[in-house]
Amino acid sequence: MYIPAFITEAEDYRRCARFHGHTCMGLTIGYLAAKLALERLGVSRADDEELVVIVENDACCCDAIQVLTGCTFGKGNFVFRDIGKMAFTFAHRDSGKSLRLVFNNAILAVPEAERRLADLIRDGKASAEDMRTYESVSEKRIDDLFAAGPEVFFSVEEVSGPLPPKASIAPSMSCSQCGELVMQTKLVQDGERMLCLDCTAQ
């Protein structure tokens, strides 16, 4: 999908694209969500765990959010909820403020005239003029959409509730069955044995 150059040529977007491997609409949604949330929270990229992000999908958007916010799995402040929603919660521990952003699907609705041209192109029935017209009207619609700012892409709601605890460091122990090292807190007691989750599933 076409993404305006003023987005793709921004230095911070380029960093996201390098990390992700390519540009796409999914990455761009995450980029816009992170930019909007950081601005609304009045904070910058996290050095440690002062910022927490909870994502409700594992799509391309998550890579841009990690790059811009500094929230990562390794630091324990990037939390994945396997819900399948294009929704993200950004929380700042010090201020106690949390925002949940939900992508507004309606903004990607394509006008009927543009959709008819797209159908002609798809069916191989479009003239050269049809193709030029489609490209022009489609790019203008998307340019106007992005020019309106990230606010139009999301509904934003202040939310409350407990945040995930800060990351804890636990010693590793060997699984009694496979012998591989496991975080002690992830072992399951089976009689006198301590088993990893893989071995308990066998």
> Tens of pLDDT along 114-148?
999 999 999 999 999 999 999 999 999 999 999 99
181/100 same-domain check = no
Domain extent, residue 102, equals 5-107+150-159
pLDDT in the model for residue 108: 82
Q: The domain spanning residue 21 has which CATH number?
A: 3.30.1330.20
Burial 81-92 (b: 16+ CB within 10 A, else e): eeeeebbbbbbb
Q: Is residue 177 part of a domain?
A: yes
For residue 46, pLDDT beyond 90: yes
For residue 169, pLDDT beyond 90: no
133/190 same-domain check = no
pLDDT in the model for residue 15: 98
pLDDT in the model for residue 170: 86
Nearest-angstrom CA–CA distance, 106 and 109? 5
Q: Is residue 144 part of a domain?
A: no
Q: How many CB atoms lie within 10 A of CB 173?
A: 15
14/93 same-domain check = yes
Q: Is residue 121 part of a domain?
A: yes
98/133 same-domain check = no
20/47 same-domain check = yes
For residue 176, pLDDT beyond 90: yes
Instruction: Give the count of domains, the chain.
Output: 3
Mean pLDDT of the chain: 94
194/98 same-domain check = no
pLDDT in the model for residue 54: 97
Percent of residues, the chain, with pLDDT higher than 90: 90
Contact 86, 57 (CB under 8 A): yes
Q: Nearest-CA neighbor of 61 among 102, 31, 97?
A: 31
154/60 same-domain check = yes
pLDDT in the model for residue 140: 93
9/41 same-domain check = yes
Burial 134-153 (b: 16+ CB within 10 A, else e): beeebeebbbeebeeebeeb
13/66 same-domain check = yes
At 51-105, the pLDDT tens digits run: 999 999 999 999 999 999 999 999 999 999 999 999 999 999 999 999 999 999 8
Could you write out the three-class secondary structure of the chain? CCCCHHHHCCHHHHHHHHHHCCCCHHHHHHHHHHHHHHHHHCCCCCCCCCEEEEECCCCCHHHHHHHHHCCCCCCCCEEECCCCCCEEEEEECCCCCEEEEEECHHHHCCCHHHHHHHHHHHCCCCCHHHHHHHHHHHHHHHHHHHHCCHHHHEEEEEECCCCCCCCCCCCEEECCCCCCEEEHHHCEEECCEEECHHHHCC
Query: Which pLDDT band, with edges at 50, 70 and 90, does 164 fall under?
Result: confident
pLDDT in the model for residue 14: 98
Give the largest CA-CA distance in the chain.
77
Going by DSSP bridges, is the β-strand pair 51-55/78-80 parallel, antiparallel, or unpaired? parallel
Q: Stretch 169-186: mean pLDDT, rounded?
A: 94
Angle at 32 between CA 29 and CA 37, to 5 degrees: 125
Q: Nearest-CA neighbor of 93 among 33, 168, 164?
A: 164
Tokens of 166: 């800060």
Q: Stretch 106-111: mean pLDDT, rounded?
A: 88
pLDDT in the model for residue 2: 87
88/134 same-domain check = no
pLDDT in the model for residue 165: 82
For residue 1, pLDDT beyond 80: no
For residue 168, pLDDT beyond 90: no
